[in-house]
Structure 1
Amino acid sequence: MSSSVGPGDGSANRDAEFTETLKSVAGMANLTQSRQVIREIGSSVIQCAHDRTVSIIVARQVLDGLAGKLRSSGSDDTAEADAVVDIADYLLREINAQGQSSNLVDQTVGLCEVAATAFETKEEYTEAAQRLASIPLDESRRRVSPEDKVRVWIRIVRDYLEVDDSTAAEPYLNKAKGAIFDVNDAELNLHFKLSQARINDAKREFLAASASYHDISFSPKLAEEERLHTLTMAVRCAVLAPAGPSRARALGRLYKDERSVMLANDFSILEKMFLNRLLQPKEIKEFAETLQPHQLATTADGSTVLERAVIEHNLLGVSLVYNNIPIASLANLLGLSNDEAKTEAVAARMIEQGRLVGRIDQLKGMVWFEGGEASGQNGSGKTAAPVDKELRYWGANVQSLAEEVERVTAELQKQFPGFVEANLVV
């Protein structure tokens, strides 16, 4: 039998040597100064495990001890965090280079988590998420409970959300959705709900985000200050949601919540929107200063999310006061600087989507409001009278025909200029 693996030979001594070395590591105070020593110890035990000159059990114990040392040194000190990342990444590379990843699965997981924690300490959240994403959760030699999988996925989501990268975070949230029903940990469930709310918020699905934030605000797991914060986020998302019956119901739930009066300026906006009162530029500006960057993003028509929400809200408010109004006057009331085309487009969109009951008379330049509440379903804004949707189709067809005539005329002018000059009636 080979001397490198036989019992009673030097392998037992190597096991003892590494065990003693591990004890000395525990006494190292400054990780920054001892990083090279720790790297050499880890590299040596991984190499010996590959060569079978040390038992895999001892190799695991040594690497677990090194990971524990790195974990215990985690602090707010950037230099220490840098050393932790350097050592952990080095050992992970060595494990992969020696082909020991299948034998040292738990140790790989521990080092990935240690590196991620250090990156979080340094506020380098993308790198932290990438280290966590490399954890083998489906390894056949390692059983991972649904709870542990969800815990890793939610941590990845939260790291990506720290840098407002909802696109990268969403796939991991979707993974967690498939396993969250098997998780009984109340705190983990709360983190899942909060992550879902934040992603809906980032995607501008404000009604869904508002409902989630409001639900979370009742959680006994949160401190009173945190509950009020999530309630504030619920109000802001409801304000930013598209005006209509669904938003009205969301505003109603929040307005009836007795805690809402504690939200100062946010409650003022909430109350005016719930009571369908017109909002003034000054209070809109003050409210905008409290919003996050993605909540002030510019939409396709050039307005911000908040401006669009306010315009639609004010349009609903006007519909409760007037039976009909000239489009030019409506543009002035909505603060659109006499932009009649944009005003008409907003009204038409809301009518078509069932968020406003009325019709538009383009020939007379009037908007007519019908009594009753919109249902919020596409096309439900139609009344017995013609609505703008049909007129817009007609207008598009007329425009298309006119463009085609213009094209044919230009081609005739190019090919037969004499004929056109003799026969064209001006």
Structure 2
Amino acid sequence: MEVDSDISSQLDSISSISNQKERTQSYLSLLTTLLSTQPPSSNALITFGKHFTTSTSMAMVVGRRVLGSYVIALCAGTSMDKKGTSAIPLDEELSNDQAKYEDLGKRAFKSENGEEIRRDVVEGVLSGGGLSGWCDEQTTVLRHLYSHLLTIEDDFLGAAKALMQIPLEGTSRLISDEEKLAVYIKIVRLLLECGEWGQAQTYFSRASLLIHVTKDKETNLQYKLSQARLFDFSARFNEAAQKYHEVSFESSVAEDDRLQMLKAAVTTSILAPSGPQRSRILATLNRDDRVQSSLPPSLATMLRKMLLEYIVRQEEVKEFEASLEEHQRAKVEGGGTVLERAVREHNVNACGKVYDNISFEALGNILDLDADLAENTARRMIEQGRLRAWIDQPLHLLYFESRTSHDTDAEAQGTAGGLGIESREKEIEPRLWSERWDDRIRETSIKVESLAEQIQQKGLIPAVSVA
């Protein structure tokens, strides 16, 4: 008998049987036949599945048992993580059938192209829409399975879209907050794998509203890692470095993965904009013994140079740049990459340890920029309160403000003597160079007027009478 040619007619014939028990057994007998064929026909299995998932008149007792057995067979033998997956409702009869259909499913899809057939069947059943509401539990499991199969093929965007189709709101199915949270986090992780961080942020926001409901360590860890990667993708490198470093201490994470997180923490801390916040995370990472012992020497050296405010050379930048991910090479406003901006701003601060003042031409030579761009870089940092300096516009000089007695190198990094005791940074009010220039003229005028008054009081010059 050719199953493909008459499967529809057999299903129609079975559906007309009035006795529910007999009808159920006939459906299960046909399913057994389809799964026993080697290799199984994907078209026949799709037709069988859609007969149930699109039916609006299916008897619940019959449909749940038969479709449940069908889904069990499709999931059999896969490595799909059942955590966060809607469970198939198991009554006593379906529980008795479970082992049988798991065995049938394993044998049906064990051939060379068995996984391809399995994927085609699941995709075929879910395609076209029109799925009935009575079988939400079963179709939800199929969507999780479809997402899992696409993930194996590295189709992360397709896998995420499969999970997006799961109805989590406005459905008759009772869905726990734990299940919703698990689905949202899975979607976020899949979207991040394919670089769709904008969409990932939307689902992460939904997960953030539910994260308080779980005490599961693995779920919380996945949440933290997703948050770190979102900070990374959105160029919030200071926050990313802190989260990566936090995850790198999790004992439940494999040693290699913890070192990978530590490496990501160091990388993002170097890419962060120059300023007190970055100085603190640099100092924290520098005190982590694993940086020196387990990470590449070039990375540890780059971290130390950034921490101690040594000028970073172009050859060192190129070596570090080779290890960056694609999104970390993005162009920034004003020209150059994220790394180039970070290094330039760092080198401006580093000049403050060497010089009292520097011309913009000389600063440009150090930053590999022309004088105007070097001035713009310094001005932006001053306005944002990330550089203690002021600009002498007529002389084209950048003056670095002298550090106070308590503002030592260790203090500048946010620590007291490098012991990890947090110190409060003195905030610098962002001011335009023109405002500073006006203040200096005002101060000079006041001093001149004061000197003139003192000279007049001592009688060194006669008072001028006004007629």
TM bucket (normalised to shorter chain) is: 0.7 to 0.9
Q: Report what 1:84 is aligned to.
A: 118
Post-superposition CA distance 1:310-341 (Å, at most 9, x none): 001111110111111111111112222xx011
Root mean square deviation of aligned Cα: 2.8
Tell me the equivalent position of 1:141: 172
Q: Answer whether contact 1:352 1:389 (CA < 8 A) is retained.
A: no
Which of 73, 76, 92 is the aligned partner of 1:69? 73
Report the alpha carbon displacement of residue 9 of structure 1 after superposing the two structures with TM: 3.4
How many percent identity over aligned positions?
Answer: 33
1:50 aligns with 2:56: yes
Deviations 1:251-273 (A, max 9, x none): 00000111110212211100111
Q: How does 1:26-175 map to 2 (within 5 A)?
A: 27=36, 30=39, 33-46=40-53, 49-52=55-58, 55-72=59-76, 74=78, 79-93=113-127, 96-97=129-130, 101-175=132-206
Shift of 1:81: 4.4
Tell me the distance in 2 between the aligned counterparts of 1:392 and 1:10: 96
- Aligned counterpart in structure 2 of residue 390 of structure 1, from 435, 441, 455: 435
Q: Which has the higher contact order (CA 8 A, sep 6+)?
A: 2
**Deviation digits for residues 222-278 of structure 1 (CA, Å, limit 9, x no counterpart):** 111111110000000000000011100010000011111021221110011111111
Q: Secondary structure at the match of 2:133?
A: coil
How far 1:79 sits from its partner (Å)? 4.8
Which of 295, 300, 303 is the aligned partner of 1:263? 295
Give the structure 1 partner of residue 273 of structure 2.
Answer: 242
Q: Does 1:194 align with 2:219?
A: no
Q: Is the 8 A contact 1:251 1:273 kept in 2?
A: yes
Equivalent in the alignment of 2:364: 331
Distance 1:69 1:392 in 2: 79
C-alpha separation between the residues in 2 aligned to 1:380 and 1:117? 53
CA distance in 2, matches of 1:314, 1:353: 17
CA–CA distance in structure 2, aligned partners of residues 27 and 184 of structure 1: 43
Q: CA deviation at 1:34?
A: 2.1
Output the CA distance in 2 between the equivalents of 1:284 and 1:236.
Answer: 12
Q: Secondary structure at the match of 1:104?
A: helix
Count of matched residue positions in the alignment of Structure 1 and Structure 2: 376
Decide whether the 8 Å contact of 2:23 with 2:62 is kept in 1. no
Secondary structure of 2:21's aligned partner: helix
* Residue 16 of structure 1 pairs with residue 25 of structure 2: yes
Amino acid paired to 2:121: I
| Gap change, CA 1:360 and 1:241, over 3 Å in 2 | same
In structure 2, do the counterparts of structure 1 residues 222 and 77 end up closer, same or farther at CA, with 3 Å as the change threshold? farther
CA contact (8 A) 1:81 1:122 kept: no
CA contact (8 A) 1:354 1:377 kept: no
Contact in 1 for aligned 2:53/2:135 (Cα 8 Å): no
2:320 to 268, 287, 292: 287
Equivalent AA in structure 1 for residue 364 of structure 2: A
Quote the Cα distance in structure 2 between the aligned partners of 1:50 and 1:10: 19
Superposition TM-score, scaled by structure 2 size: 0.75
